[in-house]
A = this chain, B = another copy of it.
Amino acid sequence: MDEVGRTGAAQADDAPARAVRIQDVARLAEVSTATVSRALATPERVSVEARARVLEAIARTGYVPNPAARSLRSQKTYMVLVVLPDLSNTFFSKILRGIEETLFEAGYGMIISDLDGSPEKEAHFAAFTAAGRVDGAILLNGHLFGQSRDGKGSAAKLNIPLVALCEAIPDADIPQIEIDNRAAARRMTQHLAQLGHRSIAYVSGPAQNVLERERFRGYRDGLRASALPFDPDLVVSGDYTLESGVRAGEDLLARAKRPTAVFCTSDEMAIGLVRTLSSAGVRVPEDISVAGFDDIEFAAVAQPALTTIHQPRRELGQTAATVLIDLLQGRTTPKRIRLKTDLITRNSVSSPR
Contacts and interface: CB of A to CB of B under 8 A. Distances in A.
B96 A87 contact: yes
A117 to B, nearest CB: 12
A69 B271 CA distance: 51
Nearest to A275: B301
Given A19-B132, A72-B66, A132-B66, A100 B126 contact: no
B9 A154 contact: yes
A275 B6 CA distance: 44
Interface in A69-127: 69, 71-72, 77, 79, 86-90, 92-94, 96-97, 100-101, 104, 109-114, 116, 121-127
Size bracket of the A interface: 35 or more
How many subunits of this chain does the assembly comprise?
2
Interface in A225-259: 242
A34 interface: no
Contact of A130 (B7, B64, B77, B124): B64
Contacts of A110: 111-112
A25 to B, nearest CB: 13
A26 to B, nearest CB: 17
Given A16-B159, A133-B67, A303-B303, A5 B97 contact: no
Contact of A90 (B93, B112, B242): B93
Contact of A146 (B7, B77, B242): B7
A62 B242 CA distance: 42
A159 B68 CA distance: 18
